[in-house]
Structure 1
Amino acid sequence: MMNCEAYKEALGADPSASFEGGSEHSADCASCSAFTEEMQAFEIRIAAALCIDTPDLKIPDLPEIEYDNVVELPFGRKSAITTQAWLAVAATVLLAVFVGFRAVDDYYAPSGLSLADEVLAHLDHEPGALAVTNVAVSNDQLSKVIRRSSGTINANIGLVSYAKSCTINGRVIPHLVLQGEKGPITLLLMPEEMIDQATTLNGKGVNGVILPMGNGSIAIIGERGEPLTELEKSIINSVEWSI
């Protein structure tokens, strides 16, 4: 069984976590699951930053040097710049680099996406969660994931085949998968992600909805043609926030 240190080392080389034993360890370890989400979100920000259109570099024509005006300095002359001055310059450069990275990070943070776009993007990063199966996750795993979300869920909601702590808009939330009529159904419980009205979701081969619910919202996504209306009512009656 892969341990956390080996998992994180392998994840550095393959942020998709498609390496052998990766999905199993991530499903069982909430800490590594959240770490995976942060790594994948960081990969998205890097990819977005690399897509910036930049103008071609143009080097200006420099004037020819008039050697008659060049003054030679004597060998061994000490620099007029003191150690304190060099330290001040170094500190200024470090501060500028830090501010630049913070500006880029804030500009390309996933929270800049709409909630609907971020939900659909999240699904694309975890295709392994959508396995057709009749095997439910353990009650301990489900309880551990739900406890982190400031929420509760009724045990008779259906067969939960996947339960993992994930990150949406910087918040750790439960990512559950139920088994529907036409295939797996994704359920994202998002306390504190308040919306004014229901939002329709349309992705590649999937459709669903984000429903407002008290101080949060719930995303329900299934394959196209999956009947979700009755499930929506059942889920709303099964979930409660403790915030």
Structure 2
Amino acid sequence: MDELEFRRRIMSDPKQRDSEINAAIRSSDKNSQFADEILDLDKQIAQAMAVDVPDDLADRILFNQTSSVENNVVRPTFARRAMAMAASVAFVAGLLIGQINWGKIVVSPAQAGLASTAMKHVVEEKPFVEQLDEQVKSSQINAKMVPFDHEFSQSFPYHVYYLNHCGFGKSNAMHMVFQGEKGKVTLFFTGIPSEHATDFNKDGMAGIIEPMGNTSLILVGEEGEDVAKIAKNLANIIKPLN
């Protein structure tokens, strides 16, 4: 598991401790320290947000909106005190979160659509992958496809710079970067189904979502890249495992 995937999974669930996470923690003091810091932060935020709310809070807010004036001093009502307390809690939580160096942390957007999730991955992971060239072989690609019950029936027709698994919303995906016709193209193959093919263009990126049974093929390239053509070429050689 690389550092980027480790940080993403720890941020997604600070208490997660499966065999891969434990191995990554044991292999690096830096990973161990990061995991402890995020777990501690999670506890501090939980404590800061644990404010007891009176059962009759709603009634008090609705009906106790007046303040008394004595010696030219305006006394705060219960509603104002409650709002001040909530603001203080939010402020404290903000300060705690601000203590983390978010540089390489990728917080996966679980509620975002497939297109938004894919584009955020591309933007946020570009500094990490843009200098890599792992010269990935087709056999390695099919090994990464196994969890999704699919494979490429022929050799992958493009030069592959990077290959890994990654968190993708509430699911996982195979994450690949390869050479397109105009520039690098990022591919995600995920177990999240999609209803129909969808093109998207935003912030200088062009993409397409291609349904593949109960899975989805997602491509994101530079603006002007013919991702529909690439998706068609790849879809023709992606087959379910027997």
TM range (shorter): 0.5 to 0.7
Find the counterpart in structure 2 of residue 111 from structure 1.
110
1:35 counterpart = 2:6 = yes
Paired with 2:221 and 2:11, the residues of 1 have a C-alpha distance of 23
Q: Which moved more, 1:231-240 or 1:124-133?
A: 124-133
Larger-Rg structure = 1
> What are the residue-to-residue correspondences of 1:201-220 with 2, within 5 Å?
201-220=200-219
Structure 2 unaligned segments of length 5 or more: list them.
15-40, 46-81, 87-106
Find the counterpart in structure 1 of residue 194 from structure 2.
195
Find the counterpart in structure 1 of residue 85 from structure 2.
57
> What are the residue-to-residue correspondences of 1:175-186 with 2, within 5 Å?
175-186=175-186
CA contact (8 A) 1:132 1:184 kept: no
Paired with 1:131 and 1:40, the residues of 2 have a C-alpha distance of 25
Find the counterpart in structure 1 of residue 149 from structure 2.
150
> What are the residue-to-residue correspondences of 1:219-230 with 2, within 5 Å?
219-230=218-229
Q: Deviations over 1:27-67 (max 9, x none)?
A: xxxxx664343135469xx9xx9xxxx94338xxxxxxxxx
Q: Give secondary structure in 2 for the equivalent of 1:182.
A: coil
Q: Give secondary structure in 1 for the equivalent of 2:122.
A: helix
Please tell me the residue identity of whatever aligns with 1:110: P
User: How far 1:138 moved relative to its partner?
Assistant: 4.1
TM-score by length of 1: 0.54
User: How far 1:131 moved relative to its partner?
Assistant: 4.5
Q: Give secondary structure in 1 for the equivalent of 2:225.
A: coil
CA contact (8 A) 1:185 1:223 kept: yes
Find the counterpart in structure 2 of residue 163 from structure 1.
163
CA contact (8 A) 1:199 1:209 kept: yes
In the comparison of the two structures, how many residue pairs are matched?
158
Identity rate of aligned residues, in percent?
A: 24
CA contact (8 A) 2:158 2:180 kept: no
TM-score by length of 2: 0.54
Structure 1 unaligned segments of length 5 or more: list them.
1-24, 27-31, 59-107
User: How far 1:214 moved relative to its partner?
Assistant: 1.4
* Alignment RMSD: 3.5
User: How far 1:161 moved relative to its partner?
Assistant: 1.4
